[in-house]
Copies of this chain bind each other. A is one copy, B any other.
């Protein structure tokens, strides 16, 4: 699968991120719809709308929030904070407001980073009625003790929570879930990089004939995964593996956070691929914080869903600031992340379990032309060792990944060995 992928994918992902960047997304509203519409230009996305007020487990789908404009004007009538310049300026889910007020009153609604004076913070207030502006500390320092005109032209209405779904049907109904959040405004690594990676993975896979079915979810964080799980409780048992993708474009090392199960196939697949990559990486244990893996791995579901990222959230200073922009995420890192995920999915597709058809003693490889004529070439020796390992461990209890783990041969070489042995009738797939 990997070979057919254009090596230009990093550039294309970055361009797609640039297209999505200006849209003001939140957990509901037209920003999400516009985002899904752009995704739909690359892959087939089915759009779902869940009405406000729908009870989903312990939560209720909130009212839909939309915003048209927002600003703070000084006495000269100048927009000194302007939503049109950056949609981070408004605290997400801010109540509408339109009136003049003294700086003293306004001040408690302003958020800045005094220690990173050029950057605008990103803040939300989904479940508490409130309003506010985020601005750079430079801007803040120009405020004076005078009256300001404050306007947030937002609406809260009974509407919908919107999410998108791309389902690729494979040979079996067993499925692999790939989930990303689409609820952040102009933030690149946290949110857009995951959207881009999911989109381009779906694009790449849609060209292949697949063993598993694949479900890509483009959902608002937390409430989105909770809503999806609540409305599809009956079908989660189809999920064989899954991953949340987020923060995959920054320069940090690739990081895989294991599922709550800790030793699921997806956990072992990421561990194997990252180790085999020879690149600096990090494999961390599950903890009940972070992204939507919190919901997928809640005890009542306990799904084999991990989280793939680069630098974990909160561990880079650009996190949840205007510093998380188009300069921060780079095509080369997006591409590296993309290739890692595609290799993991390729591994899952290929990770079958076989039964040696000659379990008693080794079969005679030489008479089948599977042995080097005269020894010496080291590539051939590796291939032979892989064949011997596959034959030795194909007792129905070891998948190819487990054989790769035990032999410390890369999955790819093990897979090719199994393929050759199958062609010669020496292995038969175990179906269970």
Contacts and interface: CB of A to CB of B under 8 A. Distances in A.
Chain A interface extent, by class: 35 or more
A260 B360 CA distance: 14
Contacts of A225: 361
A321 to B, nearest CB: 14
B57 A360 contact: yes
A394 interface: yes
A294 interface: yes
Contacts of A56: 361
- Residue among A127, A294, A362, A388 facing the most chain B CB atoms (10 A cut-off): A362
A104 interface: no
A297 interface: yes
Nearest to A371: B127
A395 B299 CA distance: 6
Interface in A365-416: 366-367, 373, 385, 388-389, 391-395, 407
Given A289-B385, A393-B299, A362 B294 contact: yes
A96 to B, nearest CB: 21
A117 interface: no
A263 interface: no
Interface stretch (A44-52, A160-168, A226-234): A226-234
A301 interface: yes
Contacts of A289: 385, 388
Stoichiometry (number of copies): 3
Contacts of A179: none
A359 interface: yes
Given A58-B364, A59-B364, A364-B58, A359 B300 contact: yes
A298 B426 CA distance: 14
A394 B362 contact: no
Nearest to A366: B127
A229 B360 contact: yes
Contact of A299 (B58, B260, B356): B356
A251 interface: no
B407 A295 contact: no
B391 A288 contact: yes
A430 B287 CA distance: 23
Given A287-B407, A366-B127, A300 B59 contact: no
Contacts of A230: 360-361
A363 interface: yes
A68 interface: no
Contact of A57 (B128, B295, B297, B361): B361
A37 to B, nearest CB: 28
A222 B59 CA distance: 61
A318 to B, nearest CB: 17
A366 to B, nearest CB: 5
A288 B392 contact: yes
Nearest to A395: B299
A233 B385 contact: no
A341 to B, nearest CB: 25
A358 interface: yes
Nearest to A406: B285
A8 B204 CA distance: 72
B288 A58 contact: no
Contacts of A260: 392
- Residue among A127, A222, A360, A392 facing the most chain B CB atoms (10 A cut-off): A360
A393 B229 CA distance: 19
Given A127-B367, A128-B373, A388-B294, A226 B288 contact: no
In the A-B complex, the 3 residue pairs with the smallest Cβ-Cβ separation, listed nearest first, are A300-B359, A300-B360, A288-B392
Given A127-B364, A225-B361, A287-B385, 12 more contacts: A58-B364, A128-B373, A226-B361, A287-B389, A288-B389, A288-B391, A289-B385, A294-B362, A294-B388, A294-B392, A298-B362, A302-B395
